Structure 1
Amino acid sequence: MYQSILVPVDGSAFAEKALRVAQYLAGASATLYLIHVQRPLDDVGLLIGGSGLPVSEEVIQRLVSERESQARAVLEKTRSAVSLDGVEVKEIVAKGQAAEAIIEEARALGVEAIVMGSRGMSDLQGMVTGSVSHRVSHTAECTVITVH
């Protein structure tokens, strides 16, 4: 049994399945950390279909607010799909490249394990396409359990 587990969630059925496995692996006084990673708003103009020219502060703030709401909705959807009675759950919204953000957060929290979903790519496909679960499993300092 693990006392601290990080579970990356993206709103998919794979993430919900990973959360069920994490709950099963959680010890009596365990903490599950649910993390949703969003790509940063590097070029807001291109993100909203523009030319990349400067965007007003109002538009940026609206986008930030919308993305925060979307992240919270993903966390809530995944959390509500699994009965987490008796387990402490903490939610994290991170920004950046998914694999790097997951690994960084796992290191900062000192979790014992990461339990994450996978789209079922083979190791070869993962190396070619750069799957997040593949990168995390090969670079994280803690145990990584990938759920298919």
Structure 2
Amino acid sequence: MYQTILVPVDGSSHAEKALQVAAQLARGTSAVLHLMTVAEFPPDNIGLFTGGVAEPYAEEEREKLAKGMKEEAHKAIDKARATVDLADIEVKEVVRQGRPAELITGEAEALGADAIVMGSRGVSDMRGMVFGSVSHKVSHTADCTVITVT
């Protein structure tokens, strides 16, 4: 049934549960799992988020922050892999930087994914309540099956 399954991970327990479900699906169908994590863009400034004045980052500071965010993204994949037995499953990894929902649906389309299996909530639950959850956006915009795991 499934040949290509995209599994976005972000270090949350919901993402780990989603990977467990995806691994079961992959074992039953010999699908390839594509673990994906998205390092969001560094903010243009931090002042607005802390109640201060907008102070733009210097390019060097933005690059340093972006590098740190990408490192954290790789750690999210490593953490997810450590929680699930992925023996005998072909697993590929990808890290992108940008807006998570858009990149997840774009990656699924580029891969020709049959399904996206993702957690219902991520590590930024408060932000999701304010701006709308990534899983909600993906489930409404993806062209393939989306399985949301709680």
TM (norm. structure 2) is 0.81
Whichever residue aligns with residue 84 of structure 1, its letter is L
Could you say which residue in structure 2 is the equivalent of 1:21? 21
Unmatched 5+ stretches in structure 1: 120-125
Structure 1 residue 98: deviation in Å?
1.6
> In structure 2, which of residues 57, 74, 77 is the aligned counterpart of residue 75 of structure 1?
77
* Structure 2 stretches lacking a partner, 5+ long: 122-127
Deviation at 1:147, TM superposition (A): 0.9
2:6 corresponds to: 6
Question: Do the aligned residues in 2 keep the contact of 1:36 with 1:94 (CA within 8 Å)?
Answer: yes
Distance across 2 between alignment mates of 1:29 and 1:5: 10
Which residue is 1:30 aligned to? 31
- Separation in 2, partners of 1:61, 1:48: 19
- Please state how far the C-alpha of 1:48 moved relative to its aligned partner: 9.7
**Cα RMSD after superposing both structures:** 2.6
Structure 2 partner of 1:114: 116
Kindly provide the amino acid, as one letter, of the partner of residue 41 in structure 2.
P
The answer to whether the 8 Å contact 2:40/2:69 transfers is no
Deviation for aligned residue 1:137:
1.2
Q: What number of residue pairs does the alignment pair up?
A: 142
CA contact (8 A) 1:5 1:113 kept: yes
Q: Which has the higher strand share?
A: 1
Q: CA deviation at 1:46?
A: 4.6
Taking the aligned partners of 2:49 and 2:69, their CA distance within structure 1 comes to 13
Is the 1:37–1:95 contact (alpha carbons within 8 Å) kept by the matching residues of 2? yes
Partners of 1:57 and 1:129 lie apart in 2 by: 27
Quote the offset at 1:143 in angstroms: 0.7
